Structure 1
């Protein structure tokens, strides 16, 4: 409970700062600049997937000799940081040619040292997760996003365009590395043990490959857009995906920081693992379902107010990808179960399946524009979510009725909320945009809360009591 509380503090703080900074930046950096930076960050994300060779997550999963294990993991992570910085510099010209964006070369050269800086923080972050010291992660997480936002906005106002985003990205990572190092500097050191290194790399390299393929499968739509369409189209698509990612998938990512170490601890107790998974799913969808549908409903008014009409092309992207994020949230923690139980091979096959399904269809429809790309992503997630849930429920020996029981209250309450919100938007069509947006949000929150209380009062009381606790710190 304490871990979840601190994780959500860091999560919501980061998301709130990112949201505010984006509202400012879109007024100084146009769609083309955002698209160019998005292409650079795609490359950074792919390299970052293997930045520590997976030893951070392997350390969480590996339960023996924790102190020595983390020190070995740190040495491996530092070595990988040096290797990836070098590879990023060398590959920059080829990446720029692939995306037909000459400006990418200089951006990637500038951003390449980010892997070296992050190698000083990744294992420390995993160590704090493993030891359930989530409160100590708050300062590094929040300070990094604050510095990133400040630097990006400052240079954007000064007219640096896309480079303001690059300066912010780099400064945020440096801040995170320094902050994490200060938290753990007297507890961790570099060490090497051949046996431990072998065990970490045996599990970690498999996990790195899975992570890499997973990120590729989640971002292949952006790769296709960057390759075959212009940078401005990628900018519209990326900004459109940002709100569903922040509001919906951010909840899943944040919760995963707690779920993975928790599932790892109970991996040898099937009944407890099954109960933990179903309970985690229930509380995640209590948040993600209404948020996803709410985002889809208010997308047009939100973009007009927060981003300006310049970004109107992002509205249908937000709506479609919000529905896609809803589906992904159902299956998200299933990956934590498979990782915690060592079923990395099964997880990798599910991820490859997503690529096999999506890539040919994306290439077929890329000429239809970014809305068609978003619809392909939604369709792919429908298929993959269904298959993933079947696989995981079998692994846990859980009945389909257990899954339905976990998500049904949130599903019904969200449906009632959606009807109320759509009604408000229709009745209030002549209202001021800001007034209509606020009225829709308040109505949706009230209707959802009341309906969920009527359907599942016990779970609501559990959440209220958890939030009201005074011992969370």
Structure 2
């Protein structure tokens, strides 16, 4: 936050930070993800499906390993309820040490991991992409400080710069015949620039240190979250393992492209909301207002997620034809289930953030275990009998029937709100989205040119959706704004209360 915001007092600082953080967070996420998607579009017309299959295998290892290195500890820093000087040096030490060990292990076991995942030729790709694990461990604390302080404007420039470098490195390497290696080396280059950027823009640079009490605090909060994230990342990458082993690298490449396209809107929405969600939920919880905010948070999330998911389902065929071309015609079948899954995934991410904001993370692990236990047999059956379309359907069925009901029950207990009350603001967006998807499906069937089908379906669906939901969305937004203001005012009173005990700090130093 700026000096002017800080002088204006805690209330105005939080308000300005939240508003500016959301705006710049949205801009940065949209621009960064758009550049990533543009990279995939360009490379999809240069590389073969099996090259993307090798990337998918490497991503499975990378995603799970990065989560393990972080140990969930940066969430303790981002919640903004503790002085960062107490815990940041310890978190930095844990992150760098674990990321170094895991990077070395992945490099050593890469041939075995590639064989287990169904693509023995991907071992070199896995080894190169593992460099990003170490880089991620080094950037965890500065990234969390940027997140904590709503510094989304400089973060946006850092993320965009990393995405631009990735694109700039990938295209010439792909044209020179490097195949999957163009995909991974470009990601290493982008991650290196992003890591350096976070260290430049962080408001405070901490040196490594270790405090036993601080380690106990961050691990008590972070370990259940890390275990839950580990399971969820394993769950979300289980499809790549099964598709690769059952159908081969080429079909895995088709599925990766389908997942990337179907996941783009949900990842954008989730990333935009999460730029401010966790520190805001932590402050609302501290002010005793999280229970009142939770239903409207979910309502606004549904308002954004449902129509996009519906249009992805209704316009799957034209979307693939326009963006990827005729080489990837197996992708629309997978996108139907993946589009439905995308909306559920957005809701699940916000529910998880509500749990973390409420300071209760243990239940998250058991929800993710349930998710994994249900998804594994569903994917096996779906992929075996209907190929990549079965993988998408398995994701959709499991998240909506098995996972989300348990998530709502868990969050209801943590924030002390009934499930019925939490669901009420989401009913209108849900039914309006069904009409939106129907319009898109009709456009895809009646209009032959793919681009015209896509454009007309999106336009008609969007107009219908806004007409049905805009008024309710405005009311929900205004209620959330009032709660955010009330939370900031309570935070200001707490800061000037003479009975509030002083914050104790450790001997860890900052630079």
Matches within 5 A, 1:88-167: 88-167=106-185
Matches within 5 A, 1:305-344: 305-344=322-361
Unaligned runs of 5+ in 2: 1-18, 481-511
Residue number in structure 2 paired with 1:424: 443
Cα distance change of structure 1 residues 197 and 62 upon mapping to structure 2, 3 Å threshold = farther
The answer to whether structure 1 residue 84 and structure 2 residue 102 are counterparts is yes
In the TM superposition, residue 111 of structure 1 has moved relative to its aligned partner by 2.1
Residue number in structure 1 paired with 2:75: 57
Q: Take 2:372 and 2:404, find their aligned partners in 1: how far apart are those partners?
A: 13
Residue number in structure 1 paired with 2:211: 193
- Which of 455, 458, 473 is matched with 1:441 structurally? 458
Q: Take 1:461 and 1:396, find their aligned partners in 2: how far apart are those partners?
A: 21
Residue number in structure 2 paired with 1:203: 221
Q: Is the 2:383–2:389 Cα contact (8 Å) retained in structure 1?
A: no
Q: Is the 2:225–2:364 Cα contact (8 Å) retained in structure 1?
A: no
In the TM superposition, residue 458 of structure 1 has moved relative to its aligned partner by 3.5
Which secondary structure state, in structure 2, belongs to the residue aligned with residue 279 of structure 1?
helix
Cα distance change of structure 1 residues 62 and 259 upon mapping to structure 2, 3 Å threshold = closer
Which secondary structure state, in structure 1, belongs to the residue aligned with residue 282 of structure 2?
helix
Q: Is the 1:236–1:314 Cα contact (8 Å) retained in structure 2?
A: yes
Q: Is the 1:55–1:201 Cα contact (8 Å) retained in structure 2?
A: yes
Q: Deviations over 1:336-395 (max 9, x none)?
A: 121222322211111100111121332344322222222222111122112211232233
Cα distance change of structure 1 residues 113 and 327 upon mapping to structure 2, 3 Å threshold = closer
* TM-score when normalising by structure 1: 0.91
Which secondary structure state, in structure 1, belongs to the residue aligned with residue 269 of structure 2?
helix
Matches within 5 A, 1:135-284: 135-184=153-202, 187-270=205-288, 272-284=289-301
The answer to whether structure 1 residue 390 and structure 2 residue 402 are counterparts is no
Q: Is the 1:99–1:226 Cα contact (8 Å) retained in structure 2?
A: yes
Q: Is the 1:117–1:177 Cα contact (8 Å) retained in structure 2?
A: yes
Residue number in structure 2 paired with 1:15: 33
Q: Take 1:284 and 1:125, find their aligned partners in 2: how far apart are those partners?
A: 24
Cα distance change of structure 1 residues 113 and 457 upon mapping to structure 2, 3 Å threshold = closer
- Which of 49, 57, 67 is matched with 2:85 structurally? 67
In the TM superposition, residue 422 of structure 1 has moved relative to its aligned partner by 3.3
In the TM superposition, residue 287 of structure 1 has moved relative to its aligned partner by 1.2
Q: Take 1:340 and 1:461, find their aligned partners in 2: how far apart are those partners?
A: 21
- Which of 336, 342, 348 is matched with 2:365 structurally? 348
Q: Take 1:83 and 1:401, find their aligned partners in 2: how far apart are those partners?
A: 46
Q: Is the 2:72–2:222 Cα contact (8 Å) retained in structure 1?
A: yes
Q: Take 1:45 and 1:256, find their aligned partners in 2: how far apart are those partners?
A: 18
Q: Deviations over 1:202-249 (max 9, x none)?
A: 332332222111111222122222233301111111111112211123
In the TM superposition, residue 18 of structure 1 has moved relative to its aligned partner by 1.7
Query: Mean alpha-carbon deviation: is it higher for 349-358 or for 331-340?
Result: 331-340
Q: Is the 1:293–1:414 Cα contact (8 Å) retained in structure 2?
A: yes
Q: Take 2:43 and 2:445, find their aligned partners in 1: how far apart are those partners?
A: 31
The answer to whether structure 1 residue 407 and structure 2 residue 426 are counterparts is yes
Q: Is the 1:53–1:201 Cα contact (8 Å) retained in structure 2?
A: yes
Q: Deviations over 1:430-464 (max 9, x none)?
A: 4x22222212212222222222235555358899x
Q: Is the 1:125–1:180 Cα contact (8 Å) retained in structure 2?
A: yes
* TM-score when normalising by structure 2: 0.85
How many residue pairs get aligned? The number is 461
Q: Take 1:441 and 1:182, find their aligned partners in 2: how far apart are those partners?
A: 41
Q: Is the 1:68–1:191 Cα contact (8 Å) retained in structure 2?
A: no
In the TM superposition, residue 62 of structure 1 has moved relative to its aligned partner by 6.7
Q: Take 1:375 and 1:44, find their aligned partners in 2: how far apart are those partners?
A: 25
Cα distance change of structure 1 residues 123 and 268 upon mapping to structure 2, 3 Å threshold = same
Q: Take 2:348 and 2:83, find their aligned partners in 1: how far apart are those partners?
A: 32
In the TM superposition, residue 109 of structure 1 has moved relative to its aligned partner by 1.9
Q: Is the 1:120–1:181 Cα contact (8 Å) retained in structure 2?
A: no
Residue number in structure 2 paired with 1:42: 60
